[in-house]
Amino acid sequence: MLARGFFVLYWVSVFSSNSTISHKQIWQLAGPMILANISIPLLGIVDTAVVGHLDAAHYVGAVAVGTLIFSFLFWGFGFLRMATTGITAQAVGRLDIPGSHFILQKSLVLALVIALLLILLQTPLSMLAFSLIDSSEQVRTLGQSYFSIRIWSSPAILANYVILGWLIGQADTRSALWLVLIVNISNIILDLVFVSVFEMAVEGVAIASVIAEYIGLLFAYFLIRRHHFPLIKTTEKNTIQFNFLSILNLHGNIFIRTLCLIFCFGFFTVQGAKQGDITLAANAILLHFITFMAFFLDGFANATEVITGKAVGAENKALLRQGLSYAAIWSLAIAALFSLSYSLFGSNIIRLLTSIPAVITTAEQYLPWLIIAPLIGVWSYLFDGLFIGTMRSREMRNTMLFSTFFCYFPAWYFLQSYGNHGLWFALLLFLTARGISQAYYLPRIISK
């Protein structure tokens, strides 16, 4: 059954006679999102650099810890972006403009409710987060100060997630790119002003992030108004083929999937830390290889979300198959390029990221796992886009649960005697299991 799915993808891509989408259109959708993704780590570099020039190391530690907490916290709510993209693309595919407006309205309400809960629960959340992180008293105190300021950006961040997803679902990835760039560029400029000019240290970094997110939200308002979105006017519900409960169910399934993903990578880091500081540092550097690869592959996943969502909305299975095939071709090509680059230049990249000899030597021992990782992981990224676009959230959740609890953890348990090699094998088996289990559903999704 799995082989049949990949077979269908191949032959559709080769012999599709009535082309409804082109490779250029794939890049028009994926390109802006790749650029948007690449701009994100630049912000982290600037955050670190501005406090790195202050007179004590605990400033850097506090920003690093605070950023880590919010990265995991807001990553968990990434379902607001993903679910909104899929259902918006389907509404656009069936030319249901009121329906797309309904999706944006209700998703923004959900984002606001979650943000208010985060603000109300900020004290217990802060206590829990910092209890899980072993840090010095100075880092903890400054990190908590960062947290207490940054938490007020929650409404803007989550609303921007929704609007970003809605713009991608509308196939307006250029506007999505501009939204990400406006937030990041504003944040960088404000970082320099508050820290370098006003000497506000960690608090300045947090305030810069809060203001930048609200600047982005204001810009996002003008972007959605360009699509004639009625901010106040309610939509006519008789045109809508889904209700708020179905939207909540979609969000919930993707949330469970995302929690599993966060937990798997968090567990990987914790188990690496148990093997010593050198192994922990080496694994952290090698995970950057996966992160950078993901920036590119996520762009094609976004393109897949838009194309397959529109295809489902328009009830056009030919478009769905062809769009998925073209996205698969480019995803696989990019993955192969990453594998080749890591094979040829992996050691050089490691040396760019660290100058500690022991860490370099250790990281090079595990580099072969990163060379094959792109060719293994590419399918889970691609099929995530397919599942989101076709609103197969239940299957998306189930495949993640299967890969986590029936593949990843058992593999780690039985391979503990192999140390860090066993840990890396378990992680790659997790990525493999995701791709294979998702491919199991492929024939029924793309069949006529």
420-429 pLDDT, tens digit per residue, is: 999 999 999 9
Number of domains the chain is built from = 2
Do 167 and 128 sit in the same domain of this protein?
Answer: yes
pLDDT score of 337: 97
Do 237 and 248 sit in the same domain of this protein?
Answer: no
Q: Is residue 40 part of a domain?
A: no
Q: What is the 3-state secondary structure (H, E, C) of the chain?
A: CHHHHHHHHHHHHHHCCCCCCCHHHHHHHHHHHHHHHHHHHHHHHHHHHHHHCCCCHHHHHHHHHHHHHHHHHHHCCCHHHHHHHHHHHHHHHCCCHHHHHHHHHHHHHHHHHHHHHHHHCHHHHHHHHHHCCCCCHHHHHHHHHHHHHHHHHHHHHHHHHHHHHHHHHCCCHHHHHHHHHHHHHHHHHHHHHHHHHCCCHHHHHHHHHHHHHHHHHHHHHHHHHHCCCCCCCCCCHHHCCCCHHHHHHHHHHHHHHHHHHHHHHHHHHHHHHCCCHHHHHHHHHHHHHHHHHHHHHHHHHHHHHHHHHHHHHCCCHHHHHHHHHHHHHHHHHHHHHHHHHHHHHHHHHHHHHCCCHHHHHHHHHHHHHHHHHHHHHHHHHHHHHHHHHCCCHHHHHHHHHHHHHHHHHHHHHHCHHHHHHHHHHHHHHHHHHHHHHHHHCHHHHHCC
pLDDT score of 91: 87
Does residue 13 surpass a pLDDT of 50? no
d(CA 303, CA 178): 17
Task: Record the pTM.
Answer: 0.82
Does residue 233 surpass a pLDDT of 90? no
Do 251 and 165 sit in the same domain of this protein?
Answer: no
Do 88 and 226 sit in the same domain of this protein?
Answer: yes
Task: Flag the least confident range among 234-248, 354-368, 406-420.
Answer: 234-248
Q: Is residue 47 part of a domain?
A: no
Final residue belonging to a domain, choices 216, 241, 266: 241
Do 274 and 414 sit in the same domain of this protein?
Answer: yes
Give the model's confidence band at 232: pLDDT under 50 very low, under 70 low, under 90 confident, else very high.
low
Mean pLDDT, residues 69-87 taken together: 84
Task: Flag the least confident range among 18-27, 72-81, 368-377.
Answer: 18-27
Does residue 104 surpass a pLDDT of 70? yes
Task: Flag the least confident range among 56-65, 93-102, 201-210.
Answer: 56-65
Give the model's confidence band at 22: pLDDT under 50 very low, under 70 low, under 90 confident, else very high.
confident
Does residue 442 surpass a pLDDT of 80? yes
Closest by Cα among 235, 229, 226, 224 to 98: 235
Give the model's confidence band at 15: pLDDT under 50 very low, under 70 low, under 90 confident, else very high.
very low
pLDDT score of 237: 47
Share of the chain above pLDDT 90, in %: 40
Q: Is residue 205 part of a domain?
A: yes
d(CA 179, CA 220): 6
Q: Is residue 406 part of a domain?
A: yes
Q: Is residue 36 part of a domain?
A: no
Do 164 and 194 sit in the same domain of this protein?
Answer: yes
Share of the chain above pLDDT 70, in %: 85
d(CA 300, CA 293): 12
Do 285 and 191 sit in the same domain of this protein?
Answer: no
Mean pLDDT of the chain: 84
pLDDT score of 29: 87
Task: Flag the least confident range among 119-123, 170-174, 249-253, 365-369.
Answer: 249-253
Q: Is residue 251 part of a domain?
A: yes
66 vs 44, more confident: 66
Does residue 55 surpass a pLDDT of 70? no
pLDDT score of 101: 86
Residues 151-201: pLDDT tens digits?
A: 999 999 999 999 999 999 998 989 999 999 999 899 889 988 888 788 787
Domain that holds residue 172: 54-241
Final residue belonging to a domain, choices 205, 223, 241: 241
Do 249 and 398 sit in the same domain of this protein?
Answer: yes
Final residue belonging to a domain, choices 241, 267, 282: 241
Q: Of 282-286, 289-293, 377-381, where does the model show the most confidence?
A: 377-381
Q: Is residue 319 part of a domain?
A: yes
Cβ proximity of 205 and 191 under 8 Å = yes
Residues 317-373: pLDDT tens digits?
A: 888 989 999 999 999 999 999 999 999 999 998 888 778 888 889 999 999 999 999
Q: Is residue 38 part of a domain?
A: no
Do 225 and 263 sit in the same domain of this protein?
Answer: no
Do 405 and 265 sit in the same domain of this protein?
Answer: yes
Do 441 and 345 sit in the same domain of this protein?
Answer: yes
d(CA 372, CA 366): 11
pLDDT score of 300: 93
Do 225 and 293 sit in the same domain of this protein?
Answer: no
